[in-house]
Structure 1
Amino acid sequence: MTSAWSRRTFLATSAALTATGGALVLPAPHAAADDPYTALRATWSALILGEGFSPTAEPFRSRLADLGTRARQLLETMAPADGSLWPDAVFADPDPDTDPESYAFSGRMADSFLRLSAMAQAYRQQGTGLTGDAGLRDAVIRGLDHLHSQVYNDQQTRYGNWYSWQIGAPQALLDVCVLLYDALTPERLARCCAAVDHFVPDSTVASYTGTSTGANRVDLCRVLALRGVVGGTSAKIALARDALSPVFPLVTKGDGLYADGSFIQHTTVPYTGSYGSVMLGGLGLLFALLKGTAWEVTDPQRQVVFDAVENAWAPFLYNGLVMDSVAGRAISRGEGDDHRRGHPVLASIVLLGRGASAAENARWRGLVKGWAQRDYYSPPLSDPSLGLTSLARIKSVLDDTSLTVVPEPDGHRLFPDMARATHRRPGWAAALSMADRRITYYETGNGENLRGWHTGAGMLYWWGDTFANGQYSDAFWPTVDPYRLPGTTVSRKPLADGAGGDWGASLPDVNWVGGVTDKKRAAVGQYLKGLSSTLMAKKSWFFLDDTVVCLGAGIHGRDGSAVESTVDNRNLGPVGNAPFTVGGSATPRTLPWSATLTNTSWAHLAGHGGYVFPGGATVKALRENRTGRWSDINTAGSTDPVSRKYLTLWFDHGQNPTDAAYVYQVLPGATEQRTAARAADSDWLRVLANTDDQQGVAVPSTGLTAVNFWFGGSVGPLVADAPCSVMVTEHADGTATVCVSDPMRMRTSLTLTWDRAVASVVSKPSTVTSAATGASLWLVFGDLSGTRGATQTVKVRLS
């Protein structure tokens, strides 16, 4: 194959490389510097190809070589035919009206454009072995012509997945148009623009509804903006810019960002780590593309997005990973894991920082540097799924010696609007997933996440800072028992794949889900009704300094199936030799090993942590090897078997239980000695109530009393006249903090009494309509129904 470069192009490239110290992008030839669209194309090329790194330095040299290898394979196998561009990617649907596989056909059409985009990138990038190769360039152009004549044109009726036609295909198509702009005739460019106009008309963003919200809206705006860049149409770029504005304001229902940091997509699904990642990355790209131009995004409400970096995304990032509790059906995709989903978020935060204030940008870069440095399990620069542009952005941060690394925060975040919580303490972090009338049990769709049924049934995730960071990364989802997810209470009634319906359709008919937090500790509760079952339970979690105290009560079921509450289900990897000790006695490591542990006060799993059962409990334990396939949970997944070893602890409540209960503590990272000491200290934890009416605990050493009132009543020193969540903490300086919330969002009045001598009220929110002090504290709250379950904090001085 011969080179397509002119001498002038080689000189321009050489000058560019010299100026950037070996930066990699081959500039588009024949650029008119005074043309704003030329400038936009140059900016977009840099954004999607990367900039500021040497093509001869690792890891970029290897990635560029891999890109060249991929492009050469695509070039050699491309075989334009009726209904396909590659033999393994047939896109012609024989009967798009009735064929259940229409989604697959449309997906292959979009994938064909993505393959052309990869080839165009190999042509434009340095170090691919195909840089400036005329044969590669001409093949991409032939591919564009073929796809236009066959399927993506202004006469075609779409079939299958709308996303493929309105986002997947046009984004890749327009990227190719930018990268090869000077090699495409005006007629070809006009045909491409006409096809995009056909499938993505201006009306697509006329209203903020349906598939034009949140991350999808940002993706559609990217299409419109690039359509304007390629076609030289100012109105299209202006429309894209203006159509972003509905994404910015905080919402109170449906898709978008909420004041408490929640992010929802598909109306009912917490999606910070998947669709939220797409939105963050898309906004970063568009802000950077339009910055300094006549179309710059200047809407002042874009600050909401900047604020969300630390309010919405950072709470779910932990040492490089993004928590699965907010990744929706993406957890079932075998090509990714929580770390590989986290790394693009880090890169997007770096990119977004270009449009933020200097102080925000510096702090975010410090956050990203800390997350990237601490990701020992899957270092970002070794992530094979991370694109060149993301690699370059993260490496620029890691190489920036001026940055102050920001450590992981210490504290609790509660997200009532998406029934989620995160908790961080030195050395570990935890997350909780629940479901209620607004938030689905789980999302399935497109044949993905077929067995995520119980991920919203109180799943409690936890990670260590230098241990167990691959707990949910290492083939957890295809191999774990989906009826024994950590923290959940579940009926073992068999469920069909995708039970409950697609796209988060199934919602439990419950209101009491939420809790209170003082930003350090928290009391969280879930009234649980099982998916497609008669299961009911009251579940509470008390997130404290070194432990999560877990209570369950009122556990009831009539399915004729066993009901279980899973204490934990640890993925021990392929080897699985971690010693497991019960009350000081080692257990066998042979597989399978199972036991019923009676009157057990504690257990410890080496390399993970400890478990305490106050007063002793009967718990079942199982060490087993489990084999599954990604295709079991995702129809597009690999059919190759994968095996992992697990250690599972659970309470067996039996068939059709009535009023079953449990109490246990999880101590992440605790040694065997500390676990045993906690179990021996019978005064450390006092369980004040664990019934279908109330659940509460006291920890005298920390001055904490916390109660979830499922119904009004009296628990320890607290009396509430209606359902609520309460946490009181006495401080060493003679003050106390009283935290109260209305998780049901229904209270128009609430009276709370604390049987403790109080001298005065130091501060209170406007929701407190009356307060009295003296021998006890008496608080009257007005209408709490509009507080969205947020914590109301009262500070008092003790007598």
Structure 2
Amino acid sequence: MQLSRRTLLTMLPASALLAVAAPLRARAAGRPTAASASGAAEPGADHAALLANTVAIFAGTAESNARPEVAAKLAAITSTARTRLAALDGAGPGELFKGVALGTSDANLNTSYQYLYEIALATRTPGPAASDLRDNVSVQRRVIDGLVLLHDAYYGDQSKGYYGNWFNWEIGISASVSRTLVLLKDELAAHKPDLTATYVSSMDAYLRNGKDGDVDLDSRFHTGANLADITTNRILQGAVTGDDARVVKAVADQLTVYATVDPYNPRHGVTDGFYADGSFIQHDSVAYTGSYGKVLLTRAVQTVKILEGTDYLGTGNGAGTGTGSGTGDLVAVVRGWVADGFAPLIFEGWMMEIVKGRGVSRTATGYTDVAVVVEAVVDLSGHSTGADATALQGYVKFVRQTSKAALDPAVFVSPVSVARYADILADASVPSADLGDAESHTAFNAMDKTVHRRPGYAFALARSSDRISKYEYMSGENLMPWFQGDGAHYLYLAGQDQTRSFGIDYYTTVSPYRLAGVTAPVETRRTIPELYGTAWYDNPERGFTSSSESQNTYVYFPRGTNSLSGGARLGAYGAVGLVLGDDVAYAAKQAGELPDDFVVHRNATATKSWFMLDDEIVVLAAGVGDAAGRAVTTTLDSRIAAASDAVTVTGRLRDGATWPRGGDGNAGGSTAPGPVAWLRYADAGQGIAVGYVFLDGGGDSRPTVALDTVTRSRRVVRTSNPDTPVTKQVFSLSVDQPAGARPLSMAHALVPNATERQLKAYGAGRGHGSGAGRGPLSVVANTTRVQAVEHRGLSLLAANTFTPGTHRAGLLSIDGAASVLLRTSHDGTVSVAVCDPTMARNTVSVTVGGRRLRAVSSDDRVRVREVPGGTRIDVDTHQAHGRSLTARLR
């Protein structure tokens, strides 16, 4: 099921944004707008609508809360409030809530405000049954008294505040306070009439990364999800104080988040946000759809709901139903985010690891991440019509039916969303359907990530470059991230509970040097707290303070030094290339730009390609080694299993012998005695299997198979995780090079859900060299200049080139660095896709040798002409930002 063509125009361009914002600018200047001239609501009515909408979002309505499906959510709100009240009763010196010490911990201050909000929420939540908390003035006044105490003792004096994490002071505390002010507006007016204005003034003062106590669109802190959070808080503050100018500016500021990021002409210098290919970036260079992206999605949908029925976007008639209306445009944009940005990254209800930044080290699961997305889609469907609404509702059903973990709607923020979710599931007229095709390839080149999907599996690849960070470490989270952006892959198998293969337990038990797909030097690295005794590198004299630009660049989320990272997509097939590079800290240290005590690490070297087909993902590597002469390990795959699962590894050598020699199916920790044809990993406990076919063109490397039982605490990857021991069987398939060894080349195919019969069909195991010749796959080239494969069954030739000059790959001649796919259909039509993986070239030229072809159709940037000996395809890649450009030829 697809969204309509109109809504697939996924992002609002800057020109449209200006048009949407025009009524706001006029309103802020006191000029009449078209809506106001026609008798639309005045600011006072708009503020009342904003407040009522906000209370409905968080507390629900009498209608929604009367639904039996909402009872668990209401019980959770009440139970949480009672727990907080008990903690309030038991508080000791220096506490507002028992066990939450104040005075030096910004996190505890933030938590104290959150607890007050949770109590206030229970007093405003309508329900079918009587509750001693509902409209309880005594309880509300306890919350207000708590606000007074926190402000007087810990928050009101800005000269003493603002320690620790800026987020708590500028966003977290303000979110809880602003919502509490909305919920208790009437009682505040009666009990502490000046407190609201006092808090708003203090919240402005803490907006130190802004400008004059307001948002600064040129600030690196006021971007993406952070900007959406800040502006939502300010919308509520304006509504509760009757400050129309504040609301107007906050809405206008938030509108900038909805524009597609143009990397060649960023507005306000901001690179955070959604890109044309569906990528989402936060923190300037971190792929972050699964964490900050879902926060932005939630906030965007809440903004639509908050603004419903107001004149702030010139509609005055509800959100999302009028073509061309302000909120209607925003709804269309957010629908596009869901279809192009989120849906490809969700596999059977699980959010993929490649877009979660430091969040991969948290104990929450990928299923929990997706519950947040589902609530947003539920609400978005209520602001859509026709086929768009049906597609979104069908996606909600699809996620619920395919997820291997039950989604508990009690975790939703809004009781109204819980009721709407129940309605969608009960609607027999809505078919369950994904938003994309079961067979798809998504090249998120703007954030150096790739997702390849087939009905039985999904393959996710994490890359990095001088544009995109290798990883994110921050605040004691993701302590050992060093190789997460160096070609680490995640193979998700259908029907599997992904918590048993990935998530926190994967990072806890799998060595950070042996993540699946990674080439790493054999060395021991220390975490940031181990190196420096703090959660960051502390050197104010050299500009290194928490959240400083130096800290971000060299410690928190360093980019790579390599420029080549990207790939082409042709229909549902893809080719991706990556040249490993060091991170920027290593390069800066060699240039004498960093302090002597700043620790840096040098990477191994490798040129790699991934060719993503139907039944297999072919991986080529060349130049694998280390310029410093260290030993190097390339991990072809790593998987985890429960300690009690029956795990076996079987296979065949190229001389026909079985693997392992003893035939007992337990690989232990041994290196192959000779060239391997194929191996098969099987976990009977999970009912899964993965095959590994070793192809000609990969040299004579002999893999090492290890199956170890590992027990570690989840705290090894995040300092605030519970000290919970995890025991897993860890399977590792690697190629190990000793110190001083010459560079290697390698070639293998991952075969998801493989049977032994299927692996034998690749033709390997009948004498050295037959693996490529008898099966459907052949390695055409595998060097540091060009890597290419051919799949005869698909009539597909795929190639990556890495250096200047002319490169030959089968019948293709490719000029310079490029990624190319060519496929011949049964009717003789030839389809070609070309991408510039460096994002720096103006033109890429490809010649198809021995063929005289004419263009049937092509992208505007593609020119096709006959040349002596073949057909030349010239592709304008100037500022294409990794986009694949295609042509159909005959």
> TM-score normalised by the shorter chain: which range applies?
0.7 to 0.9
The 1:521/1:746 distance shift into structure 2, 3 A limit, reads same
Q: Taking CA–CA contacts closer than 8 Å with sequence separation of 6 or more, which of the two structures ends up with the larger relative contact order?
A: 2
**How far has the Cα of 1:328 moved from its partner?**
0.6
2:199 paired residue number: 192
Residues 1:224 and 2:223 are matched in the alignment: no
Residues 1:137 and 2:140 are matched in the alignment: yes
Separation (CA, whole Å) in 2 of partners of 1:134 and 1:628: 50
Runs of 5+ in structure 1 lacking a partner? 1-32, 94-104
2:646 paired residue number: 577
1:534/1:559 contact within 8 Å kept: no
1:438/1:507 contact within 8 Å kept: yes
Residues 1:796 and 2:889 are matched in the alignment: yes
Q: Which amino acid aligns with 1:464?
A: L
1:619 paired residue number: 703
User: Normalized against structure 1, the TM-score is what?
Assistant: 0.88
1:353 paired residue number: 381
Q: Which amino acid aligns with 1:547?
A: E
Any idea what the Cα deviations from partners look like across 1:495-516, whole Å, max 9, x if unmatched?
2214996465422211111111
SS in 1 for 2:692: strand
**How far has the Cα of 1:715 moved from its partner?**
2.0
1:9 paired residue number: none
Corresponding residue to 1:398 among 425, 432, 436:
425
Corresponding residue to 1:159 among 146, 157, 163:
163
1:92 paired residue number: 103
The 1:796/1:413 distance shift into structure 2, 3 A limit, reads same
Matches within 5 A, 1:682-701: 682-701=774-793
**How far has the Cα of 1:637 moved from its partner?**
1.4
2:4 paired residue number: none
Q: Which amino acid aligns with 1:439?
A: I
1:703/1:731 contact within 8 Å kept: yes
Q: Which moved more, 1:713-722 or 1:284-293?
A: 713-722
The 1:146/1:203 distance shift into structure 2, 3 A limit, reads closer
Any idea what the Cα deviations from partners look like across 1:111-162, whole Å, max 9, x if unmatched?
1111112222233334696532455333322211211211233655422212
Any idea what the Cα deviations from partners look like across 1:602-656, whole Å, max 9, x if unmatched?
1222213222112585211111122222322212211222222221111112224
The 1:56/1:468 distance shift into structure 2, 3 A limit, reads closer
1:596 paired residue number: 671
Separation (CA, whole Å) in 2 of partners of 1:638 and 1:724: 46
2:712/2:726 contact within 8 Å kept: yes
Residues 1:758 and 2:852 are matched in the alignment: yes
The 1:759/1:784 distance shift into structure 2, 3 A limit, reads closer
Q: Which amino acid aligns with 1:700?
A: R
Q: Which moved more, 1:408-417 or 1:137-146?
A: 137-146
2:767 paired residue number: none
Any idea what the Cα deviations from partners look like across 1:167-214, whole Å, max 9, x if unmatched?
111111121222222222322333333333333476532324311010
2:514 paired residue number: 484
SS in 2 for 1:746: coil
Separation (CA, whole Å) in 2 of partners of 1:382 and 1:249: 31
1:173 paired residue number: 177
Corresponding residue to 2:339 among 310, 325, 330:
310
Corresponding residue to 1:261 among 272, 275, 278:
278
The 1:387/1:318 distance shift into structure 2, 3 A limit, reads farther
The 1:50/1:574 distance shift into structure 2, 3 A limit, reads farther
Separation (CA, whole Å) in 2 of partners of 1:592 and 1:385: 45
SS in 2 for 1:483: helix
SS in 2 for 1:758: coil
1:154/1:198 contact within 8 Å kept: no
2:482 paired residue number: 453
Corresponding residue to 1:323 among 344, 352, 362:
352
Separation (CA, whole Å) in 1 of partners of 2:48 and 2:300: 21
2:362/2:504 contact within 8 Å kept: no
Separation (CA, whole Å) in 2 of partners of 1:604 and 1:386: 44
2:815 paired residue number: 721
Any idea what the Cα deviations from partners look like across 1:309-348, whole Å, max 9, x if unmatched?
21212211222121110111111112x1211111101211
Separation (CA, whole Å) in 2 of partners of 1:299 and 1:199: 30
**How far has the Cα of 1:547 moved from its partner?**
1.0
SS in 1 for 2:571: coil
2:720 paired residue number: 636
Separation (CA, whole Å) in 2 of partners of 1:382 and 1:605: 37
Q: Which moved more, 1:596-605 or 1:163-172?
A: 596-605
Any idea what the Cα deviations from partners look like across 1:436-482, whole Å, max 9, x if unmatched?
01001101111111111111010111212212533213622222211
For these two proteins, the number of residue pairs brought into alignment is 750
Corresponding residue to 2:760 among 676, 681, 697:
676
Corresponding residue to 2:560 among 498, 508, 517:
508
Separation (CA, whole Å) in 2 of partners of 1:447 and 1:389: 36
The 1:62/1:294 distance shift into structure 2, 3 A limit, reads closer
Any idea what the Cα deviations from partners look like across 1:350-392, whole Å, max 9, x if unmatched?
223344454322211211210121102x121278688756654
1:106 paired residue number: 106
SS in 2 for 1:351: helix
1:285 paired residue number: 302
The 1:444/1:514 distance shift into structure 2, 3 A limit, reads same
Separation (CA, whole Å) in 2 of partners of 1:756 and 1:737: 16
Q: Which amino acid aligns with 1:527?
A: V
The 1:560/1:639 distance shift into structure 2, 3 A limit, reads farther
2:521/2:626 contact within 8 Å kept: yes
The 1:395/1:128 distance shift into structure 2, 3 A limit, reads farther
1:97 paired residue number: none
Any idea what the Cα deviations from partners look like across 1:646-702, whole Å, max 9, x if unmatched?
211111122244321211111112223222323547331110111111110001111
Any idea what the Cα deviations from partners look like across 1:241-283, whole Å, max 9, x if unmatched?
1111211211133211111111110011001111110111001
Percentage of identical aligned residues: 28
1:5 paired residue number: none
1:247/1:256 contact within 8 Å kept: yes
SS in 1 for 2:194: helix
SS in 2 for 1:618: coil
User: Normalized against structure 2, the TM-score is what?
Assistant: 0.79
2:392 paired residue number: 364
Any idea what the Cα deviations from partners look like across 1:47-71, whole Å, max 9, x if unmatched?
123456556846x544543443332
1:266/1:504 contact within 8 Å kept: no
Corresponding residue to 2:368 among 329, 336, 340:
340
1:555/1:657 contact within 8 Å kept: no
2:877 paired residue number: 784
**How far has the Cα of 1:43 moved from its partner?**
1.3
The 1:216/1:720 distance shift into structure 2, 3 A limit, reads same
The 1:296/1:659 distance shift into structure 2, 3 A limit, reads same
SS in 1 for 2:889: strand
Q: Which amino acid aligns with 1:109?
A: L
Matches within 5 A, 1:542-561: 542-559=611-628, 561=630
Separation (CA, whole Å) in 2 of partners of 1:589 and 1:145: 71
1:13 paired residue number: none
Residues 1:182 and 2:186 are matched in the alignment: yes
Matches within 5 A, 1:424-463: 424-463=453-492
- Calculate the aligned-residue CA RMSD, in Å: 2.8
Separation (CA, whole Å) in 2 of partners of 1:559 and 1:275: 38
